[in-house]
């Protein structure tokens, strides 16, 4: 197990969410499932935790009950190499959830994601402050980030 692991608290959908997430990313799998026993607090035999990997990074999902909800204070940031990857992940993760501004979305479980093309940071690191400003202004007008739109802004079109 890696030294620092992200721990995600779900009401009762941990296993369903993990199966969904691992279906979306390469090098992803369920590592183990622990079930509640006689001591509870969940029903005996129901899923307590699911240890899993997304892109080789470990996470733990807990069915902890309705006491806590996800918020945008924590999000999973996905660096996408292509617009096609942005489009595919955006469509799948936002289905049943809600789209937000600037590449942010909440999935159907309430977990926040940032789906961002690497192009955004490449263009924003340009030493010309006017170019990076135009890219930032374009991104602030977007929900799903569009690399063609970023490039047009970068070029001043």
Supply the CATH number for residue 36's domain. Answer: 3.30.720.100
Mean pLDDT of 79-106: 98
Task: Check residue 23 and give its pLDDT.
Answer: 98
User: Is 27's pLDDT higher than 90?
Assistant: yes
Write out 36-80 in H/E/C secondary structure: CCCCCCCCCCCEEEEEEEECCEEEEEEECCCCCCCCCCCEEEEEE
Q: What is the pTM of this model?
A: 0.93
Same domain, 129 and 153: yes
What confidence score (pLDDT) does residue 40 get? 83
Are 42 and 90 in the same domain?
Answer: no
The band of 83, judged by pLDDT with boundaries at 50, 70 and 90, is very high
Q: How many domains does the chain have?
A: 2
Range of the domain at 12: 1-66
Digit-coded pLDDT (tens) for 68-80: 999 999 999 999 9
């Amino acid at each position: 197990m890696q030294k620092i692991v992200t721990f995600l608290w779900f009401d009762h959908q941990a296993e369903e969410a993990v199966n969904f997430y691992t279906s979306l990313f390469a090098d992803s799998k369920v590592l183990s499932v622990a079930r509640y026993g006689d001591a509870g607090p969940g029903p005996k035999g129901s899923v307590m935790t699911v240890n899993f990997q997304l892109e080789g990074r470990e996470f733990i999902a807990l069915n902890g009950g309705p006491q806590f909800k996800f918020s945008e204070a924590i999000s999973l940031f996905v660096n996408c190499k292509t617009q096609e990857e942005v489009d595919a992940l955006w469509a799948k993760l936002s289905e049943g959830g809600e789209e937000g501004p600037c590449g942010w979305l909440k999935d159907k479980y309430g977990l926040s994601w940032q789906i961002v093309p690497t192009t955004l940071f490449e263009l924003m690191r340009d030493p010309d402050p006017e170019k990076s400003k135009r890219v930032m202004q374009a991104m602030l007008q977007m929900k799903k980030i569009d690399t063609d739109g970023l490039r047009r802004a970068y070029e001043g079109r």
